[in-house]
Chain A
């Protein structure tokens, strides 16, 4: 594999979807726009698997580094690389974008403007590049650029192709909230960089910054600023209201991506905690508390939603609370559990939203009060929805089982009270899956005109079957995956402990 690593694998990875975006923007019309989009997404997926192959799992270091000078005067360079923590997000991202493209194959704009599908796919693919960039950027400024750049395609995607009259509100709200979160983020990153530049040149490269040490007071400022900045994206509880709004207003494929890829949690793992270890250590209780709050708040709020998309959105708030709780334990097994759970979201939560979009296309609604007995005509769709629901609450044989086990055991060890609350959260999560399922998919149909709809098309079946098989495969035998994560997780924990 040595010869593989000599190539700029990651830069090429970023270029695949971007090239596809340019092409689809030129072609504009069906069927070629869709075909080009899908093939470039598939190429990205294949390339990301190649990166997994080229990666050396025994090392906990950053690998496959690509560097190029950018703004030399400020010490800013283009630097990308991956380690065990970020590696698996690349194929997960590529996969979820493939699924999103297939799921929006027949997309039509809901705005009155005459928009070509090519534009939709171009925006989607540029969003993919930005997302992949977030996962492999190792320079703070490059990271921040990708972070903010992901907002632009999202804004247009939601406001032009969203659902119902609330789509513009959702788009504006998302954009504003994310921009507002970007300010503390940038401020925190700059504080960090200036804090470490002792009378010398500025350094923005993450590997160098990780090796340095900040004064404890500065660490507090940096950690809190980054916590707010990433917390908006996670979303942590007082800042979460954009997610249900997006779930109601955004196109389903976009919601699937947003819910499936928890960029905020990744930011906390990659930047906030390791860059300010002393403050993170002191504020461990805050992280655990925020995680617990999200578990309980999201779990309880999901129970009273009237729309299936709202249920999934609040459940996702609760799920990500579990992730935060897992990493707040600052232990290798807690972090491993959190990463497994994040991977499971990419496979299952996103797919659950896609299944809902298939339902929406057939019935014109995901309102629980208007559905009922959907399993009669849509047995497959209902089955998949149930499976993905259960795969989010720790069904044995899916990836969430080892993930939740690791997190809860680690949490019981380090924050027993929070662990107990998480146990209660598993009850709420189960209720939030089964109660809406029982009302919307079982029982008698409430509206007779919904009776005659066809079950899943072959392409829809494929989009749902692949993640289902993957989560089962990884859930039944998680050991290889855990072994891949272990060196990086242990390095992460050692980095926290070493500075104490």
Chain B
């Protein structure tokens, strides 16, 4: 395995981890505020569809992105309405959202485009182009640093950089702002936040809305960044892998970056080497693809540290009377 190959694999890992990272951070906001969200998959799917449909209609990926965010946030608010306002079961609401998105995207797609839920392929203008960072071409020839800069860091779509910027931003919001402190508190002990005179409902809705925006970015990236259009069920379980990554990361932003990178890297390696020959044993790609889940189970089982979810997670807050 030479240097170029490693760069190519890392480059692929960055592309593959981006939707996971965005969805993982989305889940992080929601779950840190005490609202479990297994509807990440559905929201990404809806965002992918609306983004692709609008980007196709307008020829502008940024409008598509806005539509993606709108589609995903709408589902988020439904989740919020069901689980915060009406105090329904958060898991059931999440499952319902997944089903709703899975059915709605195909139905709307068929109704609008008549291609069986697919959107037409986006042309060059309707997709996010690759951004070449400054001086990428001039320092390409510099050994070691050149390829890293020109191949690995440069040449991704705008949403990749947005996703990476979201990590320090999330860390800063959660641990350095008043809003973040309250958000975390509402996930641990909503009664005390309520006693302090802060609205639990409003905080949780804010968190769920942020979750919708981030899922919207993730979905739009899938449909208009990585591929060129929507195909039914195109999220292919990425929302659930993001949830696994969230647990793996123990609900922390920097760990989320690491966890999603690890999952992306495993997939990139599996793509590159369908049968990874380690000399002694040959690892089939199925094992590599299953590894994120296996790792998550190991973490959950408490073998490597413990993953403790926010204490008030999953429970609707009922005000004392």
Say if A and B assemble together.
Answer: no
